[in-house]
Structure 1
Amino acid sequence: GDTVILFAENSPEWVVTALGIIRAGMVAVPLDVQLGDKTLVHILRDSDARAVITTQKRVERIEKLASSEKKPKLILFDADSDDERSWERFLDNKTTELPTAGSSDEAIIFYTSGTTGPPKGVPLSHANISSQLDTAAEVKIIAGDDRVLLPLPLHHVYPFVIGMLVPLALGLPLVLPFSLSGQQLLRALREGEVTAIVGVPRLYSALYSSIESKVESSGWIARRTLNVFLVASGFMQKWLRLRIGRWLFRSLHRRFGEKLRLLASGGAALEPELASKLEALGWQVAIGYGLTETSPLLTLSLPGEARRDSVGKPFPGVEIRIDPGALEKEEHVNGHDVGEILARGANVFSGYRNLAEETKKAFTDDEWFRTGDMGYFDSDDELHVLGRISTLIKTESGEKIQTEDVEDAYAEESAIREIGVLEKKGKLVALIVPGGTAHGDEGKDAVRKAVEAASKQLPSHQRISDYAITPDALPRTRLGKIQRHRLEERYDHAKEGGEKAPKAEPMSIDEMSGEDRALLEDSVAQSVWELLAKRYRDKRLTPDTSPQVDLGIDSLEWLNLTLEIAESSGVELTDEAISRIETVRDLLREVTEGGEGQAVDPLENPEKVLDEKQKRWLKPLGHISAAIARLLYAVNQALMRLLFRVRAEGLENLPENRQWVLTSNHISYLDPFALAAVLGWKHLRNTYWAGWTGVAFTNAVLRFLSRLGKILPVEPTRAARSSLAFGAIVLKKKKNLVWFPEGERSPNGKLQDFKPGIGMLLEKLPVCVIPVFIHGTHEALPPGKFLPQLRSIRLVFGKPLDALELKREGHGEKPHQQIVSA
């Protein structure tokens, strides 16, 4: 009967330990590793745990929060064998007779996620759990040769009972992914030969969104094909009972694992439209409804047997009835009575831990459990759940509004990332987290327009009358449900704070959404978050923070940051991955999906930084291509001299038999054409150019011309690694290099500060530097203009400079800063 807390991430050891605790007659208490201090203190006291089984990184926190009078014994999964807290020290080789647990004895205590207040302890007995296992075996939703993927944290009743205990009781293997990243889930599906997933709606929504995004990026033909195939598959399945989705989308099934057949959804409502789409794609979808207090399943909608807008029929052995009297007035849907859903059966718990009054409120006088959900039975005896009674809002007009319906309507707008609806003085108001990339006044204006657009689509009584904007995610449980008891305080704070900026410090994990807390369960993501929190301790750091806009991370910072991430976590971010990062959340997702690797210095080992596609830009031109290039250079030279009377001073400063780097100011798109016109073929054939990807590589024609001109793709804002690698390879091959150290065109024609890249190149490869100053191109074709003016252009070539001398003359903490400043 002693309680033992499990406070660690999913692992095979976790599963074995939970089973061992229950078999030994003790009571397992699985906890979310991301619990806040206040909640954890409450549970430590309420559970009266004799022991806490955890990992070394959580020991200090447990010791700090546990009561000094009755500290639980600590047992560690990852301690050395000579550590007295190691699990190995608790092994006993002697034969021990284990107690026989009674059916009414407690087996496990789950603490509810706390959407309406502090978490309540929900003890489930051996009889409660056994009833679910027996019925699951009877309905045969999984059986035989199934292999079950379990991507959910095991401190919730749904994954613990349905995802873990049911397959194990049936003798089926469990597949645990290394992390919840897309790449690791795909790996687990394929390598584990998974046939069934026990997941939640957010997982399946993300799955379908990833499919949709991939199709969108493939063009309108792929998009149209997807829609046509979905309609055809859905029609055949509904009217002819033929499942053709696996055949129509066979390439998709190869990607996700050809043996995957079943998607089991629970924990929250699965949108009927999403369920239909997943079935049209060729998977079977099963939907369960229940609560922690009911162990958990009350109803089950089996594949192909129920309407997708219902949660199916009662689980065998479960009784359900509707109590219209629980509502203030009579309500009907299609002639069916609406009321609170009541349940009873062997799966229903007997009461909350240490909460006699709450237990009394939870049951009717005749011992039916009050689920707190509204619903009705249709004419086919299928249950329809309409939402929580506690989330109903009664407006001043007397209308009752289901907040989740209103939230779904407004969340359709892309400018609204999250929205939580609440009641203030009889009116609907909302707390909104902006979506998209807009910031400041632009972001507020986008939210205002989104609210106006969504409001037009809703009846007047469902429209919000006011809202507040917050940059921080809404408080949610780990399954993604809004913690509504915290909304009002957050709303008032946002309203009162108005334009005040949030405190300049990293967001605490307690403040994050369930999705973001789940992301930080991955050890790599957690280490990167800690790295960022340490680096930017004086800035507001949240998952929605923009690395570029809010943290000021430029190309050099990206380089340093990626090297630090690789060094600390073993994950190396490619330039392609960096280009996808708009928020810190994106960065965390990229590192969870990144491959294992070691930090690669682009100056020491540039070949390892570039992929084969990038290396093609460095290959010598063939005879035909070289001839075309020479012809184009001649045409360019003639046009520049004819139209702009281009001339050069100091060309004699260019060494004939010595490698050089030419550094020029950059004031116009005409600059490289002017330089090429005066250099001459004998220099040009051994010269490479750094060219901005945003101009020189935007289409096939420009990419072909860039190849002929030996222009290398440089991204000045993010892809510092590949940019430096290109430069390093060119210089190591004893070729010349033209580099615009400002990184972009000057908007006013004046010289801008140099980016650090050229300094880093010359620090490592100190070749001769030729400074060039270009006059006239800004007047001929300034930024923002398309048609050039016929103005004369003059280029002044300075005397050769020694990189080592520049380092001695310059100032700065690091050598590359000294070179650039000189």
Structure 2
Amino acid sequence: TPHRRQIKELLLRQHRPEKRCLPGATTPWTPQTKAETRLVQELSRLSGYPAAQIHPSHHLELDLGIDSLMKMELLLLLETLSPQKGAATALPVEQLLQKVHTVQDLLALLHPSPDPKPRSRSPEKQAFDAFQYLTTRNSLFYQCATRLFHFLLRHTYQHYFRLQCRGLEHLPSTRPYIIAANHTSHLDSGAIITALGKEARHLYILGARDYFFNHPWKGWFFNTFLHVLPFDRHENFLQGVRVSKEALSQGHSLLIYPEGTRSITGALQPFKRGLGFLACEARVPIVPAYIHGSYEALPKGAVFPKRRKITVTFGPPVSIDAFCARRGKMPNHLLYQEVIENVRRRIEELRDHHLRAE
């Protein structure tokens, strides 16, 4: 409607402050290479300031208003612009985020100097590689063990929790997708796996690295039997994006909880923009899902599950193509916010429809 367009234009003007002048640009400076020009253009697009005003001395957060998610976009761009592909982001992302504070820091990453003596990483840092959890295990023991586990899981959900599933016809059959579901219980992932049936063989679940992979045996169990992939919620976000994109490119689908953690009340929590960022990067549809009953069966903090009926409802997929077509025409963080608000509304509609039907 015209009223909504006016509001959107007002918000865009607020995020693109053309009348303000950036501080600190006392020394004239112009980009020297095409890569530097492309980087400055991206900084201009993200910050809303004219490219001519951006100077190497400007602070990314204090001067340009670049938040952590925008920094991730810039690091992904640096990977493609650097003459040595991947060299710009060879360090762990948590170290990069600690190093990158100014435009000059980004320019330094764009032209990394050769290091004849690369710094050795601690055994713990060397040992953990999220990509290793994408490896397919074809041994007879693995196949027998996973089949037995999934049989027990299916039997538990169908008979103890009386699982019901609706909307399976909405799942895309010709391409990978992201399932975005509400999260109130440790029972949620098992409910989705059981609801998908044989399709669950092609599903990976994004799980918090600091919770599911804080011990080797724990990471092995959840990756082997539930296909959980480590996703760092606090520091190594970029590696999680890479692993997720690689899983999707291999034809697997992903289960993501956009709230980031379990709700302690059972109500929907605010969604993280990372879902919109990942969906736009991978260009795959998002299938909204609503899980009912898992909170009553096993809320956060409980140890033993109660016998409660669990229902999983899938909604029509949210196409990401229209959002991707608008990248670069508006601040990306606003675009990602639109994506998650759209998905959240779909999940709320599934919830309301379920509650009315009961």
Calculate the TM-score normalised by the size of structure 2.
Answer: 0.61
Residue 42 of structure 2 is matched in structure 1 by none
Write out aligned runs for 1:199-214 (5 A): none
Amino acid at match of 2:149: L
Kept in 2: contact 1:720–1:757 (CA 8 A)? no
Residue 62 of structure 2 is matched in structure 1 by 536
SS at match of 1:680: helix
Which of 187, 212, 237 is matched with 1:696 structurally? 212
Write out aligned runs for 1:319-718 (5 A): 531-532=58-59, 535-536=61-62, 556=69, 559-560=72-73, 573-575=91-93, 577=95, 587=99, 598=110, 613-624=129-140, 625-681=142-198, 683-708=199-224, 709-718=226-235
Residue 725 of structure 1 is matched in structure 2 by 242
- Residue 575 of structure 1 deviates from its aligned partner by 3.4
Kept in 1: contact 2:177–2:287 (CA 8 A)? yes
Amino acid at match of 1:660: Y
- Residue 598 of structure 1 deviates from its aligned partner by 4.3
Residue 748 of structure 1 is matched in structure 2 by 265
Alpha-carbon distance between aligned partners in 2 of 1:571 and 1:797, rounded to the nearest angstrom? 37
Per-residue deviation, residues 307-334 of structure 1 (Å, max 9, x unmatched): xxxxxxxxxxxxxxxxxxxxxxxxxxxx
- Residue 809 of structure 1 deviates from its aligned partner by 11
Write out aligned runs for 1:28-67 (5 A): none
Q: Decide whether aligned partners of structure 1 residues 651 and 599 sit closer, same or farther in structure 2, where only a CA change above 3 A counts.
A: farther
Alpha-carbon distance between aligned partners in 1 of 2:339 and 2:236, rounded to the nearest angstrom? 21
Per-residue deviation, residues 614-645 of structure 1 (Å, max 9, x unmatched): 32111112233233222211111112223222
Alpha-carbon distance between aligned partners in 1 of 2:158 and 2:185, rounded to the nearest angstrom? 17
Residue 465 of structure 1 is matched in structure 2 by none
Q: Decide whether aligned partners of structure 1 residues 726 and 771 sit closer, same or farther in structure 2, where only a CA change above 3 A counts.
A: same
Alpha-carbon distance between aligned partners in 1 of 2:297 and 2:280, rounded to the nearest angstrom? 35
Which of 293, 303, 308 is matched with 1:786 structurally? 303
Kept in 2: contact 1:571–1:598 (CA 8 A)? no
Q: Decide whether aligned partners of structure 1 residues 588 and 729 sit closer, same or farther in structure 2, where only a CA change above 3 A counts.
A: closer
Alpha-carbon distance between aligned partners in 1 of 2:298 and 2:238, rounded to the nearest angstrom? 31
Aligned-pair RMSD on alpha carbons? Answer: 3.9
Kept in 1: contact 2:204–2:252 (CA 8 A)? yes
Residue 355 of structure 2 is matched in structure 1 by none
Percent identity for Structure 1 against Structure 2: 24
Amino acid at match of 1:646: L
Alpha-carbon distance between aligned partners in 1 of 2:296 and 2:77, rounded to the nearest angstrom? 43
Residue 773 of structure 1 is matched in structure 2 by 290
Q: Decide whether aligned partners of structure 1 residues 560 and 646 sit closer, same or farther in structure 2, where only a CA change above 3 A counts.
A: same
Residue 180 of structure 1 is matched in structure 2 by none
Alpha-carbon distance between aligned partners in 1 of 2:178 and 2:215, rounded to the nearest angstrom? 28
- Residue 672 of structure 1 deviates from its aligned partner by 0.5
- Residue 819 of structure 1 deviates from its aligned partner by 2.3
Q: Which has the larger radius of gyration?
A: 1
Residue 819 of structure 1 is matched in structure 2 by 339
Per-residue deviation, residues 132-175 of structure 1 (Å, max 9, x unmatched): xxxxxxxxxxxxxxxxxxxxxxxxxxxxxxxxxxxxxxxxxxxx
Kept in 1: contact 2:78–2:109 (CA 8 A)? no
- Residue 561 of structure 1 deviates from its aligned partner by 6.9
Query: Is 2:257 aligned against 1:737?
Result: no
Alpha-carbon distance between aligned partners in 2 of 1:782 and 1:674, rounded to the nearest angstrom? 14
Please list every run of at least 4 consecutive aligned residues from structure 1 whose deviation after the TM superposition is greater than 4 angstroms: 551-554, 560-573, 596-600, 805-812
Kept in 2: contact 1:808–1:818 (CA 8 A)? no
Q: Decide whether aligned partners of structure 1 residues 812 and 646 sit closer, same or farther in structure 2, where only a CA change above 3 A counts.
A: farther
Kept in 2: contact 1:763–1:819 (CA 8 A)? no
Per-residue deviation, residues 384-436 of structure 1 (Å, max 9, x unmatched): xxxxxxxxxxxxxxxxxxxxxxxxxxxxxxxxxxxxxxxxxxxxxxxxxxxxx
Query: Is 2:279 aligned against 1:757?
Result: no
Alpha-carbon distance between aligned partners in 2 of 1:588 and 1:757, rounded to the nearest angstrom? 20
Kept in 2: contact 1:563–1:599 (CA 8 A)? no
Residue 353 of structure 2 is matched in structure 1 by none
Higher alpha-carbon deviation: 719-728 or 697-706: 697-706
Kept in 1: contact 2:178–2:284 (CA 8 A)? yes
Per-residue deviation, residues 471-521 of structure 1 (Å, max 9, x unmatched): xxxxxxxxxxxxxxxxxxxxxxxxxxxxxxxxxxxxxxxxxxxxxxxxxxx
Q: Decide whether aligned partners of structure 1 residues 637 and 570 sit closer, same or farther in structure 2, where only a CA change above 3 A counts.
A: closer
Query: Is 2:342 aligned against 1:798?
Result: no
Kept in 1: contact 2:194–2:200 (CA 8 A)? no
Kept in 2: contact 1:772–1:796 (CA 8 A)? yes
Q: Decide whether aligned partners of structure 1 residues 680 and 571 sit closer, same or farther in structure 2, where only a CA change above 3 A counts.
A: closer
Amino acid at match of 1:767: V
Alpha-carbon distance between aligned partners in 1 of 2:77 and 2:320, rounded to the nearest angstrom? 27
Per-residue deviation, residues 96-137 of structure 1 (Å, max 9, x unmatched): xxxxxxxxxxxxxxxxxxxxxxxxxxxxxxxxxxxxxxxxxx
Q: Decide whether aligned partners of structure 1 residues 650 and 571 sit closer, same or farther in structure 2, where only a CA change above 3 A counts.
A: closer
SS at match of 2:129: helix
Q: Decide whether aligned partners of structure 1 residues 657 and 571 sit closer, same or farther in structure 2, where only a CA change above 3 A counts.
A: closer
Alpha-carbon distance between aligned partners in 2 of 1:730 and 1:565, rounded to the nearest angstrom? 22
SS at match of 2:183: coil
Amino acid at match of 2:145: I
Amino acid at match of 2:155: A
Q: Decide whether aligned partners of structure 1 residues 560 and 761 sit closer, same or farther in structure 2, where only a CA change above 3 A counts.
A: closer
Alpha-carbon distance between aligned partners in 2 of 1:576 and 1:677, rounded to the nearest angstrom? 36
Query: Counting helix residues as a fraction of each chain, which structure ranks higher?
Result: 2
Kept in 1: contact 2:288–2:315 (CA 8 A)? yes
SS at match of 2:179: strand
Q: Which residues of structure 1 form unaligned runs of 5+?
A: 1-59, 62-526, 539-550, 590-595, 601-609
Alpha-carbon distance between aligned partners in 2 of 1:721 and 1:599, rounded to the nearest angstrom? 20
Q: Which residues of structure 2 form unaligned runs of 5+?
A: 1-25, 28-54, 102-107, 113-125, 343-358
Kept in 2: contact 1:665–1:773 (CA 8 A)? yes
Kept in 1: contact 2:179–2:256 (CA 8 A)? yes
- Residue 756 of structure 1 deviates from its aligned partner by 2.0
- Residue 722 of structure 1 deviates from its aligned partner by 0.8
Kept in 2: contact 1:807–1:818 (CA 8 A)? no
Alpha-carbon distance between aligned partners in 2 of 1:663 and 1:588, rounded to the nearest angstrom? 32
Residue 86 of structure 1 is matched in structure 2 by none
Per-residue deviation, residues 676-695 of structure 1 (Å, max 9, x unmatched): 121112x1111211111122
Q: Decide whether aligned partners of structure 1 residues 767 and 570 sit closer, same or farther in structure 2, where only a CA change above 3 A counts.
A: closer
Amino acid at match of 1:785: A
Per-residue deviation, residues 752-775 of structure 1 (Å, max 9, x unmatched): 232222212222332232210111
Amino acid at match of 1:689: I
SS at match of 2:172: coil
Amino acid at match of 1:559: M
Number of aligned residue pairs? 261
Calculate the TM-score normalised by the size of structure 1.
Answer: 0.28
Alpha-carbon distance between aligned partners in 1 of 2:190 and 2:154, rounded to the nearest angstrom? 8
Kept in 2: contact 1:731–1:765 (CA 8 A)? yes
Query: Counting strand residues as a fraction of each chain, which structure ranks higher?
Result: 1
Alpha-carbon distance between aligned partners in 2 of 1:572 and 1:558, rounded to the nearest angstrom? 15
Q: Decide whether aligned partners of structure 1 residues 654 and 564 sit closer, same or farther in structure 2, where only a CA change above 3 A counts.
A: closer
Per-residue deviation, residues 648-703 of structure 1 (Å, max 9, x unmatched): 1112222334432211111112110111121112x111121111112221223321
Alpha-carbon distance between aligned partners in 2 of 1:599 and 1:766, rounded to the nearest angstrom? 29
Write out aligned runs for 1:7-46 (5 A): none
